[in-house]
Amino acid sequence: VPAALVVAGDGPLRARLEARARAEDLPAAFLGHVGDRARLAALQASADVVLAPGPAETFGLAALEALACGSPVVVSALSALPDIVGPAGATAADNGAAFADAVAQVLARPEPVRRATARVRAERYGWPAAVDAFLAAHDAPRVQPDGRIPARTATGGAR
C-alpha cells in the first residue's frame, strides 16, 4: 500500500524501524513521544487510517481516540480491539501483509463514509454511554450468597 507512515510514540523497536525505513527509502516519520494533546489530536484527525498493531491490547484508548477524531483504525486480531472498532476499521492477523491488506480495505471506502463511521462508533463509548452502563450495572440484581437472585420491587430495584 503506497502510504506515508507517521509513528507517534517510542519503544524498543524504534531504532530498528527507523534504520529499515532509511535503508529502504520509505516515507516514514518517527516523532517519538507526543505529549502535546492538541498535536496528538491533530495527528489522529489528519490520518487516513490509524494502526493499532498491539496483540495484547485490552481496551485501546488510543484507538478509541482515533475513532473520535474520525480516523478508522486497523487492529490486531489477537487483541480485544476488534470488538471496540467494529465496522469503523478493520482487523488484521499479526503480520505486515495482513495489515497492508486491511489498510487497503479501509482506504477503499469513501473518505466521508469512513470518517463518519469512525465518529459514530466512538460515540458508543462516550460519557452518556458510560453513565448508562454504570447505572444499569448499579441497578442489576445482586446474586445472593446462596445463589438466589432477589425479586424486583415495583420501582425496579432489588429487595
CB-based contacts of 60: which residues, under 8 Å, 6+ apart? Answer: 52, 54, 75, 79, 80, 81, 84, 85
Q: Which domains does the chain have, with CATH numbers?
A: 34-139 (3.40.50.2000)
Closest CA to 109 of 72, 79, 84: 72
pLDDT for 66 equals 96
Within its chain, how far is the Cα of 115 from the centroid? Answer: 14
Q: At what angle do helices 37-46 and 61-68 cross, to 10 degrees?
A: 70
Element (H or E) spanning 150, and its range?
A: none
pLDDT for 159 equals 46
Burial (CB < 10 A; 0-12, 13-18, 19+), residue 120, is middle
CB-based contacts of 19: which residues, under 8 Å, 6+ apart? Answer: none
CB 34 within 8 A of CB 43: yes
Q: How far apart are CA 51 and CA 85, in angstroms?
A: 11
Q: How far apart are CA 148 and CA 79, in angstroms?
A: 35
CB 85 within 8 A of CB 102: no
> For every one of its 159 residues, what pLDDT tens digit does the chain have, with 9 covering 90 and above?
778 999 999 999 999 999 999 999 999 999 999 999 999 999 999 999 999 999 988 888 999 999 999 999 999 999 999 999 999 999 999 999 999 999 999 999 999 999 999 999 999 998 888 888 888 888 777 777 787 776 665 455 544
Q: How far apart are CA 34 and CA 119, in angstroms?
A: 22
